[in-house]
């Protein structure tokens, strides 16, 4: 029974430490300044989708204040059409590298003001203090591997 409890404790401990290990690996990749070194740690499609959702949420807040009309409907269609293409064009591994290095200076472990689990499959890092335009980096557990799936500016 003790062996079973010790094994379970060890598994939980490894699970809790794994995202922090991933942060260290990303720091090492940022230090090399090689975008290909980041590739295994980033799900670009998910990062792009998260940014598109963020744009749409900002647009929803704006139209909630102004109200729905033909102008806001036209604006929404234009933002979805142009904004989606712009996000796909702009967000690549170089953008991820530059975004992570800009605020965190390539040291996520050192510059993170908060990092912990949001759920068993989601881990969030905050760089900067709340109320002072912090950046949020979201890791998601994909096939037993933690990868960056969103960067919120």
Segments making up each domain of the chain, as ranges = 16-152
Pairing of β 112-119 and β 135-142: unpaired
pTM to 2 decimal places:
0.83
Q: What is the pLDDT of residues 41-67, one digit of tens each?
A: 999 999 999 988 887 787 777 766 666
Provide the pLDDT for residue 84. 72
Residue 118, CB-side half-sphere exposure with 13 Å CA sphere: 12
152 vs 70, more confident: 152
Distance separating alpha carbons of residues 62 and 78, to the nearest angstrom: 15
Neighbours of 101 (CB within 10 A): 15
């Amino acid at each position: 029974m003790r062996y079973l409890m010790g094994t379970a404790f060890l598994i939980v401990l490894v699970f809790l430490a794994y995202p922090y290990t991933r942060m260290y690996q990303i720091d090492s990749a940022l230090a090399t300044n090689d975008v290909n070194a980041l590739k295994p740690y980033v799900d670009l499609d998910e990062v792009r989708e998260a940014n598109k959702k963020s744009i749409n949420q900002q647009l929803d807040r704006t139209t909630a204040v102004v109200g729905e009309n033909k102008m806001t409907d036209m604006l929404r269609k234009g933002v979805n059409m142009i904004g989606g293409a712009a996000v796909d064009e702009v967000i690549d591994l170089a953008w991820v590298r530059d975004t992570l290095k800009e605020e965190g200076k390539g040291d996520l472990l050192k510059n993170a003001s908060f990092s912990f689990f949001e759920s068993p499959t989601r881990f969030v890092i905050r760089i900067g203090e709340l109320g002072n335009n912090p950046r949020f980096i979201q890791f998601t557990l994909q096939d037993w591997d933690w990868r960056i799936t969103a960067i919120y500016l």
